[in-house]
Structure formats: structure tokens, C-alpha cells
Amino acid sequence: MANNDIIIKALRAVGEEDAEYLVSLIGSTPGFPKEGIIFRDFMPVLADARGLDILMRGFAATLPVAPEDFDVVAGLESRGFLFGPALASRFGKGFVAIRKAGKLPPPVFAESYDLEYGSASVEVEQNAIHPGERVLIVDDLIATGGTARAGADLIKKAGGIVAGFSFLMELDGLDGCSRLSEAPISTLIAMPA
């Protein structure tokens, strides 16, 4: 995928100059965490005041649903915690953390899911989501969709409704968005896997 293809989604949200600047901050490390994977590092975006501002404006401009169509933002551990609260605050919403198993005090709802090398589980506190509450799920990237799928199932188990999914990056070719068909999805940037 050409650099121009990567920028196109962000371009629509924040303009050409800011889109190019945002993408220039995202690092790529081939072979990490294992051979055959390109690690996409957006931490330099957070360390840069202009980059962080562009990121948050981009997230806000590309919501998959209108702000009045969700009640709370849920961030997936761990990088969804970094910008989920800021996004929630921007729209006058609360924030709920979807954590890895064993990180929250009981009582919790839990949801397990398969990974290529085993299984994992995510949890949410039982009193964090109220029945019928509409939840926007936020994370840094969508790859195969396993964690986001488990987060959506967890929201439903807690009595909430998945209003949409919002990701900074989509890794093309991994088809993760197809696992999240029940609600609208937005991504700010698409990059090759």
C-alpha cells in the first residue's frame, strides 16, 4: 500500500498536512514481536503535542455513530485506555475499562477468546455498564478482531448495547472488521499487515 493510500482516511478527517504529519509519527518495526509481523507503533504520536491533537481530532471526526447515539466509551486494554478517556471527555461521556483477566476486583463479567497461540480473557466490572447503555468500543488497532469481538460479547453479557467500534488503525488483509458486523466501525488509518 502506498503512503498516499495510508493517508487517505486521515486526510478526510484532518486535512492533508495534518494527515501526513500524523502518519509520519507512526513507527514500523519488522519482525516484532515475531518474524513475519510488522509492529505498528503509535506511541510517538502520543509523545508529540501536535500529533496527539491531530489524533484526537481525527478520532472525533471519524466516529462511526453520532455522539448522541452512544452513552459511554469502553477502551480495550491496554492502548484503548490511552485515548478512550480523552475521547469520552470530549463528548461528555463516561469511560469504562475492559481489562485483561485478573486486573479488576470482583464481581466482574468475563469473556474468553482464542488466540493463535492459546486463549485469553477480558473482564469488566459488573456495575460499570448499565442495562441498555449504548457503548462505543475504542482501541488502537483492529487486526484479526479477536479482542474487539470478545469486548463486544462482554458488553452484551453486561447488558449493554454495542453502538460502534472506533480504531486508530486497521491492518489490511487480516479481515478483522468482518468479525464485528453488528455495529458500525470506523478507522482513521489503514496500513498493510
Residues 41, 141: Cα–Cα separation, whole Å:
10
Q: Which of 149, 137, 151, 62 is nearest to 109 (CA)?
A: 151
| Phi, psi (degrees; rounded to nearest 5) at 180 | -120, 45
**Residue whose C-alpha cell reads 466482574 in the numeric block:** 108
The CB density around residue 149, as the number of other CB atoms within 10 Å, is 18
> Would you call 116 a catalytic residue per the annotation?
yes
Contact predicate 170/191, CB 8 Å: yes
User: CA 175, 102, 34 angle in degrees (round to 5)?
Assistant: 40
Task: Decide if 50 is catalytic.
Answer: no
Catalytic pick from 12, 79, 90, 179?
79
CA triple 7-12-14, angle to 5 deg: 85
- Packing angle, helices 49-61 and 16-25, rounded to 10: 120
Buried b / exposed e across 40-68, counting CB within 10 Å, b at 16+?
bebeebeebeebbebbbbbbbebbbbeee
What is the set of active-site residues? Answer: 79, 116
